[in-house]
Structure 1
């Protein structure tokens, strides 16, 4: 019996995982499922981080008193923002109609909170509230409509009618697509996004170009046989932020990512290194990208050679050769980025990490995977039968 090799992780990856949980509020279970790291290891890293906070040896060097004070102020700022948005977010999740807002104001009044303050926080007029009290009560909204609005809110207001049909079926409501579309119109539910463009691929260089080994074979028979990687841009108030991702094509799962204010070769290497740390792929893995200078660079090619990976590149000017990565970026921007206005890079990094770890990998319905999220699809397929690894030709 072959002894299983124990996984080792870099201190930088450990700190990144701890920050996801401590600073962004992600659960240990979500991070564990999304990054394929055991919960026991993550909890041990959290304990080490706590020891570091108390001046004891932990991950890396102990923080100075000034660093601890800065971190404490950041946490207090984050808590104040969350407290200020709590009532509005909670109300939006329950129901966006004024009737629910007025009901909440009545409940707050019982707790000695003045009507003036409640109306100001919930952004409704006092005259409208008092007028609603004099009107006769309306019939309660249908149960299906409430669940539809809840499913739409849980999807970060990104699901259209097709995915909402699946989400409603999972909640026990078997509705047709046209009925769902009708309910969406009645409730005013409509995903809204607008497109912005920035050039990220520079294929006008003299560096060596690899052949298209993947050749659009986007459905490998097992995990860690073929990865797709690409770069995109994110608009923030502090300037552009660039995101590099690595997708395992088997389950369309994001297994590595990195963000930076510029696009050096190190950016794509950091994303691939995260994937290697998480998945430990064997030599022979196909890593597909476009012909950008970052992917043709000596630094990136040396990383592939060191691990025995096969480099694959799209044909010139052909975005369809890397369609899976392109589609992920479109989903990310439609469902999250284009609905936000990021003040700075840190805010964008936190929100995009939350999308990948807390939503896309673990919760988002993917029609290619039989309407299952990537992490659940991987577990389901692994439990059905032993995976036979076959090479992509």
Structure 2
């Protein structure tokens, strides 16, 4: 594995922060795994340039326990926790966690020499004879144990930096590679692997992986959609590509690969009481539409970025979930809605009979808004007061969009966010598949239905 200097890591991070290149483009160009580059970004966000300075800190028992307790209580990953506490090597946390679980607090107490030792009663030489403390035999045994620990954790650390987590199969591989150099029994104790498990995996080490091609394809789809797809959507995409795979198998293989959907909001409320006329709830949660431009829904949501607020107003077609158009501005003025409405009208034909549903926000109560609908022969519908479920489809879109864009990506400026938002809406309409659309994107589903008619 290529070693990178502090300066090289800092240069790579600053390239990303400039906003011209994606994480994958940068990690590929310098030959580092994408997950490792994400760790550099996390370290920099938490600690700045000091995160890349070499550290030879000796961590005391209380610090180790505090870190492990934080990871357990907050549910953060090993990599994420290491970034928060500026621990250079994430596998160090894995080592602390394993030592605490198998031996107890004593294993976390720093020793004057070498790594924190394992329980000497468990890692003895196999002899029933007691070795006098300080004797040549005891020193040799201690030296051999430290050599074994160093060799084992060095290989584990290498695997951890490559894939972000260590599986039982990975630990078996490490033990298998070291079996001629150290006692197998002691290695299995150190790795906390039952002998039966070890021999089961060893028996299968030489066999070709029957799912190797499928794993590569799953990882490719996952990376292509930047971690937004879970196992069900990946299963649907595999089906689109001619692979018939059960969703449970996809879920299992994703677990083996150590990947999962990265996708989990203060809701802007535009309701200010009755400032105009309230329309009845004609939609009445009937979110099914038999054709395009039959039922549209709209709402406004708020973003907070770089100390500023942005307001996002889209129009969504219930027929296929397609975002027809949207506007975004720094203030929730009426023009935000009127401009969006004017743009969406360009989609309509004279034969369309349309219903537009919204909540009771003040924009939608305005006389200008109601007149604009009346002029086009459009029926207005509104949710009941304080009932977000009456407009659940647009609420769900906001949740998905924030999870897959706002909370997933890093932005360098408001303009950078707007640029990424435009790319995301295009992706959502034209590429992101939906199970209820027969595994097609909204636009593809609409075009397919029109061609079939």
TM-score normalised according to structure 2 size: 0.55
TM superposition shift of 1:329: 0.9
The answer to whether the aligner puts 1:379 opposite 2:447 as a matched pair is yes
SS of 1:380 mapped into structure 2? helix
2:237 and 2:439 in contact (8 A); partners too: no
TM superposition shift of 1:296: 0.9
In the TM superposition, 1:106-121 aligns within 5 A as none
Please name the residue that 1:172 is paired with: 242
The answer to whether the aligner puts 1:293 opposite 2:362 as a matched pair is yes
Cα 1:261–1:282, aligned 2, differ >3 Å: closer, same or farther?
Answer: farther
1:265 and 1:299 in contact (8 A); partners too: no
**Quick one: distance in 2 between partners of 1:209 and 1:271?**
20
Please name the residue that 2:326 is paired with: 257
**Quick one: distance in 2 between partners of 1:206 and 1:332?**
30
Which of 26, 31, 40 lines up with 1:88 in the alignment? 26
**Quick one: distance in 1 between partners of 2:22 and 2:380?**
49
SS of 2:407 mapped into structure 1? helix
TM superposition shift of 1:332: 0.7
The answer to whether the aligner puts 1:162 opposite 2:236 as a matched pair is no
Please name the residue that 2:335 is paired with: 266
Which of 177, 181, 206 lines up with 2:251 in the alignment? 181
TM superposition shift of 1:334: 1.4
In the TM superposition, 1:1-393 aligns within 5 A as 81-82=19-20, 87-88=25-26, 90=28, 96=34, 142-194=212-264, 196-280=265-349, 282=351, 284-357=353-426, 359-385=427-453
Please name the residue that 1:44 is paired with: none
- Computed over aligned residues only, the root mean square deviation of the Cα atoms, in angstroms, reads 3.4
1:295 and 1:301 in contact (8 A); partners too: yes
Q: Deviations over 1:233-277 (max 9, x none)?
A: 122114121111101111111101000111112111222222112
Cα 1:330–1:97, aligned 2, differ >3 Å: closer, same or farther?
Answer: closer
**Quick one: distance in 2 between partners of 1:219 and 1:92?**
49
2:356 and 2:381 in contact (8 A); partners too: yes
TM-score normalised according to structure 1 size: 0.63
**Quick one: distance in 2 between partners of 1:376 and 1:302?**
33
Cα 1:348–1:323, aligned 2, differ >3 Å: closer, same or farther?
Answer: same
Gaps of 5+ in 2: 1-14, 37-87, 90-153, 160-173, 178-205
TM superposition shift of 1:291: 0.4
TM superposition shift of 1:169: 2.2
1:229 and 1:245 in contact (8 A); partners too: yes
Q: Deviations over 1:310-348 (max 9, x none)?
A: 111011111121111111111111111111233432122
**Quick one: distance in 2 between partners of 1:152 and 1:184?**
9
**Quick one: distance in 2 between partners of 1:352 and 1:251?**
20
Gaps of 5+ in 1: 1-76, 99-122, 386-393
More off after superposition, 312-321 vs 171-180: 171-180
1:93 and 1:150 in contact (8 A); partners too: no
TM superposition shift of 1:89: 5.6
1:235 and 1:342 in contact (8 A); partners too: no
2:356 and 2:379 in contact (8 A); partners too: yes
**Quick one: distance in 1 between partners of 2:423 and 2:213?**
30
**Quick one: distance in 2 between partners of 1:160 and 1:191?**
5
Larger RCO (CA within 8 A; separation ≥ 6): 1
SS of 1:234 mapped into structure 2? strand
More off after superposition, 169-178 vs 276-285: 276-285
